[in-house]
Structure 1
């Protein structure tokens, strides 16, 4: 693939209507955009939607057959006519918040990791086996280090 030097990004950021204001304050569009851009290898048209557990559970069940809310879902739609990748990321704020607390991570660091992770999925990266998982984790670690965050896979203590 011929990688553009500075991929173009068309980004839509959506918060579920009843979303907590603290998450909106923690996640300004410019910050989200910088996390997305850090993981882009190609032009992209992406939507990131921040949701509650009910919406996450419904989507996770409808598309993956899993009856629980999950931290991030990525829907990749391939490439558009202008060769930009297209996709949606659905991020469940209560799950992200709970995981950050349980894993002793800063909330913004966990959001950054999950957005980078989802953007990589939208571009075709996966972790279906150990080799692919190692490759994807390595890329995530490098991106997050450049953003000033610790290794998201490092165990506390």
Structure 2
């Protein structure tokens, strides 16, 4: 069984190789945090901008497209700003949560940033997986912690720091 259960609504994601990219990114994220991927499941919706705009409106009150959304299966955020979230224990419910990713926004951002689409998508899946594990960027110290984790995970994967200006 794979870590990612991918639902492809937009076939451009198949051509972009989303499923193996997402699996690799989520595996790297869990491994970095010392979690056994065999204990967990993530649902991934590969959609377009129209679908993610509707989801963004429904869940965040923002009726615009975004690159990626995530819904943790339970609240895991740290109470104290800048603290690492408490990692989940394996148990009877292996579901970490759900992620949705939008093709047009991801493709546009990759082009605007001069990055390969695969690198950008890998970063977004790492980012969303960290959200499922309680990482966030609403408070400054939490954002610093989350960005550092992303940079370290991506670096181990041989990818450049997505936050460094070219």
* Among candidates 63, 69, 76, match of residue 73 of structure 1: 69
CA positional deviation for 1:26: 2.6
* Among candidates 128, 139, 144, match of residue 118 of structure 1: 128
Instruction: Give the TM-score normalised by structure 1.
Output: 0.85
CA positional deviation for 1:25: 2.9
Q: Is 1:36 aligned to residue 46 of structure 2?
A: no
Q: Is 1:14 aligned to residue 24 of structure 2?
A: no
Relative contact order (alpha carbons < 8 A, sep ≥ 6): 1 or 2 greater?
Answer: 2
CA positional deviation for 1:129: 1.1
Q: Which runs of 5 or more structure 2 residues have no equivalent in the other structure?
A: 75-87
* Among candidates 41, 44, 53, match of residue 45 of structure 1: 41
Instruction: Give the TM-score normalised by structure 2.
Output: 0.81
The answer to whether the 8 A contact 2:66-2:102 is kept is yes
CA positional deviation for 1:81: 4.5
Q: Is 1:103 aligned to residue 113 of structure 2?
A: yes
CA positional deviation for 1:123: 0.6
CA positional deviation for 1:67: 1.3
Q: CA RMSD in A?
A: 1.9
> Aligned equivalents of 2:18 and 2:163: distance in 1?
25
In the alignment, which residue of structure 2 is the partner of 1:3?
Answer: none
- Residues 3-52 of structure 1: CA deviation (Å, up to 9, x unaligned): xxxxx963201110x432xx313325333211111111433211111111
The answer to whether the 8 A contact 2:3-2:27 is kept is no
Question: Which aligned pairs between 1:58-97 and structure 2 lie closer than 5 A?
Answer: 58-78=54-74, 81-82=91-92, 84-97=94-107
More strand by share: 1
